[in-house]
Chain A
Amino acid sequence: DVKVTQSSRYLVKRTGEKVFLECVQDMDHENMFWYRQDPGLGLRLIYFSYDVKMKEKGDIPEGYSVSREKKERFSLILESASTNQTSMYLCASSRWGIAYEQYFGPGTRLTVT
């Protein structure tokens, strides 16, 4: 079974803090994704990586950066957290290609106060 794990289920941070969200997959997938999910807005892609050290901006990259130093690990970084970044963050992975399903992690509920 494919397993995608995220470092925290719940996280509370203060405005201005640097926040790291980690995601690890165990199926040697090339693609990894970071999404945020907000009520009424659905899933929105923040960043995408198709190989180690390769990244591509998604629909809402502002205020975020990512790091992929190893194939199995994809990190999302909030350089200076703001209250409008309070959200559910979901990581996913898939094989490279146009017709492979994505496997999702359990999500991290981030609250910025």
Chain B
Amino acid sequence: KNEVEQSPQNLTAQEGEFITINCSYSVGISALHWLQQHPGGGIVSLFMLSSGKKKHGRLIATINIQEKHSSLHITASHPRDSAVYICAVPTSNAGGTSYGKLTFGQGTILTVHP
């Protein structure tokens, strides 16, 4: 079973700071997901990536397949970025096909102060 570890678990920053959240997984994957959950809100997908880097606004996600590691960066952080950020990878099983099931990290709680 794929194990997913995120760090840090909690992160506090001042507005404008550069933020990095890390995700490591134990089994090789086809794609990795980054998700965001605002307090009291639903979960939305930020990125799905299988190699290299993706950018959306102030958010950048990178992945190193060989090292089984991904990072989510937020440039010029803002209080509205305060949320839980979750990393997820396809669930591996004995048959090798996950049908779309995901294994989630514990999440990183980010708080950005003005």
Show the binding face of A for B, using Cβ within 8 Å.
30-31, 33, 40-43, 45, 48, 50, 56, 58, 90, 92, 94-107
Contacts and interface: CB of A to CB of B under 8 A. Distances in A.
Interface of B: 30-31, 33, 41-45, 48, 50, 86, 90, 97-102, 104-107
Contacts of A33: 101
A104 to B, nearest CB: 4
Contacts, number: 57
Contacts of B33: 101-102
A100 B45 contact: no
Given A90-B43, A106-B42, A98 B100 contact: yes
Contacts of B31: 98-99
Contact of B104 (A42, A48, A100, A107): A42
Contact of B97 (A30, A48, A98): A98
B100 A96 contact: yes
8 contacts: A30-B100, A31-B99, A33-B101, A48-B101, A96-B99, A98-B30, A105-B42, A106-B42
Contacts of B105: 42
Contacts of A97: 99-100
A42 B86 contact: yes
Nearest to A99: B31
Contact of A43 (B41, B42, B104): B104
Nearest to B105: A42
Chain B CB within 10 Å, residue with most, of A30, A99, A100: A99
Contacts of A41: 106
A16 B86 CA distance: 34
Nearest to A92: B43
Nearest to A104: B43
Contact of A94 (B41, B100, B107): B100
A69 to B, nearest CB: 20
A104 B33 CA distance: 13
B42 to A, nearest CB: 4
A52 B99 CA distance: 14
